[in-house]
Amino acid sequence: MKSCKSISCMSLKRFISRTVMASQSFSLLSIMLLAFVITSCSSQPTLVKNQNVGGALGTSYSIIYISKGELDFQTQIDSVFAAVNQSMSTYIPTSDISKINVGDSTVVVDEMFKEVFELSKEVYQATNGFFDPTVGTLVNAWGFGPGKQIELDSAKVDSLLDYVGFEKVQLLANNTIKKQSSRIKFDFNAIAKGYSIDRLALMLDKKGIENYLVEVGGEVVAKGINSIKQKEWVIGIDDPEAESRNPKKLIYLKDRAMASSGNYIKFRINEETGEKYVHTVNPKTGFTQNSSTLGATVFANNCATADGYATSFMAMNLSDVKIVLSKHQELDAYLVYSDENGGIKEFMTEGFRNRIISE
């Protein structure tokens, strides 16, 4: 029997009906055949755009997943955020990272903490120490963490640098953390948001979702396509010069993760002097980084990796960034920076350029 692709469903139904009437006997086989044809020739299920939005990790999130029927994974989404927070939030006193930061060496960390620790080590080594999650003491001192902000000068910064350095911490075989000093404090905020997105993506994978877009605070993982519109997911990259969040570039993203970092996103103003302190702390100097780089966007195979490198690139010279990218072909990047004359320039890898929808 020919398929519905070569014979119209209506013609086939009429043929079967006439055959059945001619025989004047509704055999079981004929009924089953007619039911099969009607079912198989019916229209395909309508695709549904499911979306969950809300707030988490100090920012907003939007999770879109396309299926053949209505779904709601809000409970599972909340569970992912809760688990990540309990493991790595420096703003929750009872979290594992908070306990470790105050000197508890008996905490047995979970798999999430271990994965982030090991990935942090990789990015730390690849960036020659520009990515360093042991900057927690400095982050607090500059007023960007949960700890007490203090007035800083060169002498105080130098003294705090004694408690910074990823080589000063270890993940032991029994899954506890060993620190050279109890005053060393972890801060995974530059990678944990990306990691939480990866965990959300993993949850959707396990649910059998093939097309989705997970966005938390502007960082994303895109899988498959927007199958309702039959095109790849469209992502906007903010303009670091704009006072409000306006896209500077529009890109297509498929089966890729993206993270952005920029000093235009988070900073603090000294009320007395009016001086601007950006949130990127250079782990080598101990000072907040007022570099020529205004914004960095990175593509990677997972969002935690993209997150870590995007943060690192904000503290690095462009020449050093290019060296890192030349050694890690799995990464693509887009940087907006100011030249020696104050002009705004762009640098992008070929892989990023190929993703641009419009200039």
Both tokens of 153, joined, read 């000068």
CA 251-305-327 angle, 5° bins: 90
DSSP for residue 200 = H
DSSP for residue 185 = B
Q: Is 281 exposed, middle or buried (0-12, 13-18, 19+ CB in 10 A)?
A: buried
Please name the helix (run of DSSP H) or strand (run of DSSP E) that holds residue 224, with its range, or none: none
Predicted model pTM: 0.82
Q: How far apart are CA 40 and CA 252, in angstroms?
A: 35
Model confidence pLDDT, tens digit, residues 302-327:
999 999 999 999 989 899 999 999 99
Rama region for 171: left / alpha / beta (φ>0; ψ in -120 to 50; rest): beta
Q: Return the pLDDT at 272.
A: 56
Strand partners, 221: 214, 257
Distances 242 to 10, 286, 323 between C-alpha atoms, Å = 59, 28, 29
Model confidence pLDDT, tens digit, residues 18-27:
544 444 444 5
By the 8 A CB rule, do 32 and 194 touch?
A: no
Q: How far apart are CA 235 and CA 251, in angstroms?
A: 5
For the chain, 359 residues long, give each residue's pLDDT as a single digit of tens: 434 443 344 444 454 455 444 444 445 444 454 444 444 444 556 999 999 999 999 999 999 999 999 999 999 999 999 999 999 999 999 999 999 999 999 999 999 999 999 999 999 999 999 999 999 888 878 777 776 776 777 888 888 899 999 999 999 999 999 999 999 999 999 999 999 999 999 999 999 999 999 999 999 999 999 999 999 999 999 887 666 667 889 999 999 999 998 765 444 444 555 444 455 788 888 777 666 788 999 999 999 999 999 999 998 989 999 999 999 999 999 999 888 887 889 999 999 999 999 65
